[in-house]
């Protein structure tokens, strides 16, 4: 690139869970280090990167359909580069360029650090580059990352998964669990906080098995307590734990560490012990409910969310009723509910007694109806309660129409509030009183009780986001990021 040439503009399109969203932050960081710049609104990119998911239903159809729409753009502009990475790339490998030969680069989950090199090689050789590694090449957190948010950040504690759930393809695509050292994790958190970040979410496929690799089964609870000692870090969350590995020391750390939020995402998957055995989920419903009782005894205000799969092969009406019974007892604040669908390469894909779509749909509708009723009942109990909100960007789809803003309470609930005349920005912290509870959100239409302007709010107002340089860190720098989507649950099971 000469001094007069503009940097090549990139766009990253992310599908899937929190892992994918955080990987996209790393992809953005690498591309910017390599001289690329995020595409401006309304402009056409020189590079489009798809970070894909293989867990969600019809993920492959969505990708190949989107690639098909891009073919005319590639024909019109041969210099446009298209790259496909993530879980679907790890699974489909060379099949992608067979079905979409206009794709320039395919890379897997284990070598996201190779993207800039592969792009340059594809440009030089004028042919597609496909590189899929079978094991992790570089721990992702050693890579630079352009952060999505000025006020809340993901921090990986581990990658991969050692579980063998029969419905899940993640271990085959992400590999065995690899744990980061606590000092590396805390150094990354401290560097983010130094630039104004107020909230971190500790991220792993199974966070409460963290430490097994280096011989400390109590490491995750210790990590939560250590995060509590970081000055300026106001909120700590984590996702996702596994009920089989959940221990009392983690509950104690949550309850005793002031900045650890009283929010827990605990995947149930099924309330039927028979189905849990078929899923190879190494806990039973009584154990699951006992954990919830222990959490609520220590933190009565805790909000607990979950994942549930409906229609697993062989699920009977009796099995499904057991799920409804557990949901009734658990009183989840919300649930991510999924209809089972076959994932090639998983043991469940070849199990007998795959259920008809109509049966799965009918059960799914009943579960959603029950959970919505419970969520609404639980949210109504919060009306009149004072809540502290970290103001968010893009969480309220109707905020412009209703003249509200949105934020997350400490328990993770979404609250739409009326700022009045206050000049509130994303990243600021406000206190208000809940005036209405709906099934999926709360409303606070009264006057603000307090409004604290923050450095994160200053950065959000200026359009600045942190960029961490990897495990060696130093202080993050700042710049304008590419837009990223909100993550969805469903991968970290």
Q: Which residues are annotated as a binding site for [4Fe-4S] cluster?
A: 17, 53, 87, 161, 165, 168
Under DSSP, the state recorded for 157 is: S
Following DSSP, what letter does each residue of 254-303 receive, concatenated? Answer: HHH-TTB-SEEE---B-S-HHHHHHHT-S--HHHHHHHHHHHHHH-TT-E
Output the CA–CA distances (angstroms, integers) from residue 157 to 22, 134, 199, 205, 426, in the order listed: 12, 21, 15, 9, 26
Classify burial at 105, counting beta carbons within 10 Å of its beta carbon; exposed 0-12, middle 13-18, buried 19 or more: buried
Helix, strand, or coil here: 307? strand
CA–CA gap between residue 221 and residue 210 (Å, rounded): 9
Return phi, psi of residue 84, to 5°.
Answer: -125, 125
Residues annotated within the binding site are 17, 53, 87, 161, 165, 168
CA angle (249, 251, 255) in 5-degree steps: 115
Joined together, the tokens standing for residue 194 give 């130094």
Where does 125-243 show beta strands of DSSP type E?
Answer: 129-131, 145-146, 152-156, 158-159, 178-179, 199-203, 235-239
Instruction: Sheet containing 145-146: give its strands across.
Output: 145-146, 465-468, 477-479
Q: Which residue has the tokens 């097994």?
A: 212
- The CB density around residue 341, as the number of other CB atoms within 10 Å, is 17
Joined together, the tokens standing for residue 480 give 């304008």
In which region does residue 314 sit, left (phi positive, over 0), alpha (psi from -120 to 50) or beta (all else)? left
CA–CA gap between residue 290 and residue 15 (Å, rounded): 34
């Amino acid at each position: 690139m000469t001094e007069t040439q503009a940097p090549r503009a990139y766009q990253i399109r992310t599908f899937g869970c929190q892992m994918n969203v955080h990987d996209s932050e790393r992809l953005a960081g690498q591309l910017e280090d390599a001289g690329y710049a995020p595409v401006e609104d309304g402009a056409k990119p020189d590079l489009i990167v798809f970070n894909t998911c293989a867990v969600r239903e019809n993920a492959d159809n969505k990708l190949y359909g989107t690639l098909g729409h891009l073919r005319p753009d590639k024909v019109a502009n041969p210099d446009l580069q298209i790259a496909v990475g993530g879980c679907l790339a790890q699974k489909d490998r060379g099949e992608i360029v067979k079905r979409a030969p206009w794709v320039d680069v395919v890379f897997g989950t284990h070598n996201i650090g190779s993207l800039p090199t592969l792009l340059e090689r594809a440009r030089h050789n004028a042919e597609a580059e496909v590189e899929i590694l079978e094991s992790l090449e570089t721990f992702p957190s050693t890579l630079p990352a352009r952060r999505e948010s000025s006020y809340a950040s993901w921090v990986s504690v581990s990658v991969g998964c050692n579980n063998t759930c029969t419905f899940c393809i993640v271990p085959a695509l992400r590999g065995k669990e690899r744990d980061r050292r606590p000092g590396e994790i805390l150094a990354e958190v401290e560097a983010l906080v130094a630039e104004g970040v107020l909230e971190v979410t500790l991220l792993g496929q199974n966070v409460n098995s963290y430490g097994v690799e280096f011989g400390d089964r109590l490491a995750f609870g210790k990590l939560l307590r250590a995060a509590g000692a970081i000055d300026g870090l106001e909120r700590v969350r984590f996702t996702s734990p596994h009920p089989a590995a959940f221990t009392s020391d983690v509950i104690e750390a949550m309850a005793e560490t002031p900045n650890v939020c009283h929010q827990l995402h605990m995947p149930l998957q099924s309330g039927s012990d028979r189905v849990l055995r078929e899923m190879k989920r190494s806990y039973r419903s009584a154990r699951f409910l006992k954990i919830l009782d222990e959490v609520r005894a220590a933190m009565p205000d805790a909000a607990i969310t979950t994942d549930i799969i409906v229609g697993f092969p062989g699920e009977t009406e009796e099995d499904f009723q057991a799920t409804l019974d557990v949901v009734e007892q658990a009183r989840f604040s919300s649930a991510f509910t999924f209809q089972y669908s076959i994932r090639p390469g998983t043991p469940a894909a070849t199990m007998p007694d795959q259920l008809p779509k109509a049966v799965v749909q009918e059960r799914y509708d009943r579960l959603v109806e029950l959970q919505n009723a419970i969520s609404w009942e639980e949210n109504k109990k919060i009306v009149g309660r004072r809540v502290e909100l970290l103001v968010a960007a893009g969480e309220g789809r109707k905020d412009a129409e209703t003249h509200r803003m949105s934020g997350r309470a400490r328990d993770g609930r979404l609250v739409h509030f009326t700022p009045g005349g206050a000049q509130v920005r994303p990243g600021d912290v406000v206190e208000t009183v809940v005036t209405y509870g709906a099934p999926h959100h709360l409303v606070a239409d009264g006057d603000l009780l307090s409004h604290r302007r923050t450095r994160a709010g200053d950065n959000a107002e200026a359009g600045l986001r942190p960029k961490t340089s990897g495990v060696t860190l130093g202080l993050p720098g700042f710049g304008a990021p590419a837009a990223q989507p909100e993550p969805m649950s469903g991968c970290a099971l």
